[in-house]
Structure 1
Amino acid sequence: MVQIDDVRRAAERLRGRVRRTPTMRALVPTPDGEVEVVLKLEQTQLSGTFKDRGMVNAAVRAHEEGWLPAAGLVISSGGNAGIALALAGAALGVPVTVTTAQDAPAAKVQRIRSLGATVLNHFPDHPTSNAEADTLAARTGALRLHAFDHPDVVAGAGTLLLEAVEQEPELTSVLVSVGGGGLMAGTALSAQETGVRAVAVEPVGAPTLHAALAAGEPVDVAVDTIAKDSLGANRLGAGPWEICRGAELQSVLVTDEAIITAQHYLWDTYRLLVEPSAACPVAATMTGAYRVGAGELPLFVLCGANVTSPF
């Protein structure tokens, strides 16, 4: 299982290879009045999402330690991890193949291709795409990476909170959108190290962690949400679960309507254009699904911006 030392090593590995994204203070309306929060602007990563941290960490570690094959890298992705891995592969000069479902956003597929990666996107759904990535890696000898269920990906994701605490030492909590659980697991590790309380936010239509916490293990969930291209995993990853299960996480749910409202608020008030997945923490606070306590300074991770227009 990933340890905090793995996160620290990832932070050193990523220095100069991914962006140190800015933070900004913001006011968010809630049922109890406005609250001050800190926004972590991960949408300013080169790929547009936090995925740079995990993909670059995994690819560079394999390269540095001599087990990155000439056949390159293969991943199944809804789009964002594929973009980030394509960037990592281009920087290392190795081929990247991305499998994805046929309903993946065209803009994300085009971005992956524009970075020189091969995209196979004729699969009917994510499970089929995932299985094809396994088959392709076995046939070609390419290194199979996973968008969220891989130790180096989790460790890379964990660097986000360590960085944020350096920037904003007064932070007391962090709210993270959850799909497959890689970002949440990495954040949970760093939260335990820094004393920051971690909170998971999930769409009602894709409650992977919420369902796992209720069942005591990862279980399949039906995915029906506006955020499905980023938070579309139908089950929490096994690796992330091993970390999350012992982290005493709170999980709150938000509706698609609340997510859209939060997207508009971020655009109208701060001119921040983010994906539905990135707006989930703001949605939780605006609706009261999560209530900011007295003296609390929460971090909201705005995790993605691969959208083509402001709604």
Structure 2
Amino acid sequence: MHSALAYADIKTAADRIAGHVRPVTVAQADPGAEPYTLHFALELMQHTGSFKARGAQNFLLAHREEGTLPTAGVTIASGGNAGLACAWAALRQGVRATVFLPTTAPKVKVDKLVGYGADVRLVGTEYAEALAACEAFAADTGALASHAYDHPLIAAGAGTLLDEIHDRIPDLDTVVVAVGGGGLFAGVATAARHHGLRTVAVEPENCRALDAAIRAGHPVDVTVDSVAADSLGARRVSSTALAAAQQDGVRSVLVPDIEITRVRRALWDDRRLAVEHAAATALAALTAPDPQEPAGHGYRPAPGERVCVVLCGANTDPTDLTRTAETA
């Protein structure tokens, strides 16, 4: 079990990865369209198409500093984005990467992994099966085992995103992030708490590892069945993420798949942003139809509240968005 993440870890990560990742672009959404102020953090423009590049660079650079990068290279199990980031960071650092994915991983992600020079191994139909194979490979070869989300260096790297957002929006009140295994959420929530900001953690109704852990008081296995499962389909959330969720200033909410799909299409139709379902999940918290929804569903900003939604990933096949736009 990892120790709790501290803001000092995020500051160290920010110094370490400076110059190795793209600073986030923040754009204000339509002024006056809502009674609150809405910004988008366009982290889909990051290297490899997601925030995962931050944690991957922090992880490898920290091990390089310590002299603990083995000749067997690095290995990771990932539904896609973390593997892409690991392979990209390994290529940048001149390190071999072996990436394990479930057979259900989108072809667009597999193809990009190969493009980064990774040795790609497809195992099982769920992330947990790919993880078991990855762990066995690391034990057999001595490769350095990274993790898609459950490692303090990975979460700290992800948390650097919030500091950049806060620099650009100093009067921010609330940041909204999608949650899978919890690496992004843990890092962002830790940094947000340091700055006195609220964090809204958003999960699909049927990929609710954080919600289940909060209710149980400890991480538990959940079923994974959502249109966003390729990125948010962790069977259980990290203990670091649960610890972050139990702090003041955090709210956990759920959204239905139908709204995730609608928001993803709307981001394309209205803004020409082709995002993953996981990225649309965060924004869906603000748009899911509402007041009579059960407690824990959606998030309604107060009038005048300053909100930033993290659009965290772009590794998607946009052909369904194009079809939607053409046939609408």
TM bin, normalised by shorter chain, reads over 0.9
Q: Residue deviations 1:210-231, cap 9 Å, x none?
A: 1111111111111100001100
Q: Does 1:299 align with 2:302?
A: no
What does residue 27 of structure 2 align with? 24
Change (3 A) 1:206 1:9: same
Q: Distance in 2 between matches of 1:81 and 1:29?
A: 36
What amino acid does structure 2 have at the position aligned with 1:112? L
CA apart distance, 1:124: 3.2
Q: How far off is 1:248 after superposition?
A: 4.7
Over the matched positions of the two proteins, sequence identity in percent amounts to: 42
Give the C-alpha shift of residue 245 in structure 1.
2.6
For residues 123 and 216 of structure 2, the distance between their equivalents in structure 1, rounded to whole angstroms, comes to 33
- Partners of 1:152 and 1:165 lie apart in 2 by 21
State the alpha-carbon separation in 2 of the partners of residues 207 and 176 from structure 1.
Answer: 14
Gaps of 5+ in 2: 291-297, 322-328
3-state SS in 2 of match to 1:74: strand
165 and 140 in structure 1: CA distance in 2 versus 1, 3 angstrom threshold: same
Q: Any idea what the Cα deviations from partners look like across 1:250-289, whole Å, max 9, x if unmatched?
A: 1111111100111122111111110000011211111242
Matching of residues 55-134 of structure 1 within 5 Å: 55-134=56-135
Letter in 2 for 1:20: P
Q: Secondary structure at the match of 2:314?
A: coil
Where does 1:1-311 land on structure 2 (aligned, <5 Å)? Answer: 1=3, 2-27=5-30, 35-287=36-288, 288=290, 289-310=298-319, 311=321
Separation in 2 of the partners of 1:44 and 1:66? 31
Structure 1 residue 188, shift from structure 2 partner: 1.0
Structure 1: distance between partners of 2:287 and 2:241:
28
Shift of 1:126: 1.7
Query: 1: distance between equivalents of 2:162 and 2:155?
Result: 12
Whole-Å separation in 1 of the counterparts to 2:30 and 2:181: 29
**Amino acid corresponding to residue 246 of structure 2 in structure 1:** R
CA RMSD of aligned residues (A): 1.5
Q: CA deviation at 1:28?
A: 9.2
1:9 alignment partner AA = T
Q: Which amino acid aligns with 1:11?
A: A
Deviations 1:155-188 (A, max 9, x none): 0011000110001112100011000001110011
Q: Kindly state the Cα deviation for residue 36 of structure 1 after the two structures are TM-superposed.
A: 2.9
Contact 2:77 2:131 in 1 (8 A): yes
SS at match of 2:30: strand
Of 292-301 and 281-290, more deviation after overlay is shown by: 281-290
* In structure 1, C-alpha distance between the alignment counterparts of 2:279 and 2:134, rounded to whole Å: 26
- Deviation of residue 247 (structure 1)? 4.3
What is the TM-score normalised by the length of structure 2? 0.91
Work out the CA distance in 2 between the residues paired with 1:69 and 1:77.
20
Greater Cα offset, 294-303 or 122-131? 122-131
Return the letter of the residue paired with 1:301.
V
Residue 149 and residue 221 in structure 1: after superposition, are their counterparts in 2 closer, same or farther (change >3 A)? same
Alignment partners' CA distance in 2, 1:265 and 1:225: 19
**CA contact under 8 A between 2:36 and 2:302: conserved in structure 1?**
no
Q: CA separation in 1, counterparts of 2:90 and 2:99?
A: 11
Q: Which runs of 4+ in 1 moved over 6 A?
A: none
| Distance of aligned partners of 1:29 and 1:178 in 2 relative to their CA distance in 1, 3 Å threshold | farther
CA distance in 2, matches of 1:243, 1:122: 31
Contact 1:43 1:302 in 2 (8 A): yes
Q: What SS class does the counterpart of residue 12 from structure 1 fall into?
A: helix
**Alignment CA distance shift 1:274-1:29 (3 Å):** farther
The gaps in structure 1 that reach 5 residues or longer are none
TM-fit CA distance, 1:307 = 1.1
Specify the SS of the correspondent of 1:222: coil
Count how many residue pairs are aligned between Structure 1 and Structure 2: 309
Residues in 2 aligned to 1:119 and 1:247: alpha-carbon distance in whole angstroms: 41
Letter in 2 for 1:18: V
User: What is the Cα deviation at residue 34 of structure 1?
Assistant: 5.9
* AA partner of residue 231 (structure 2): S
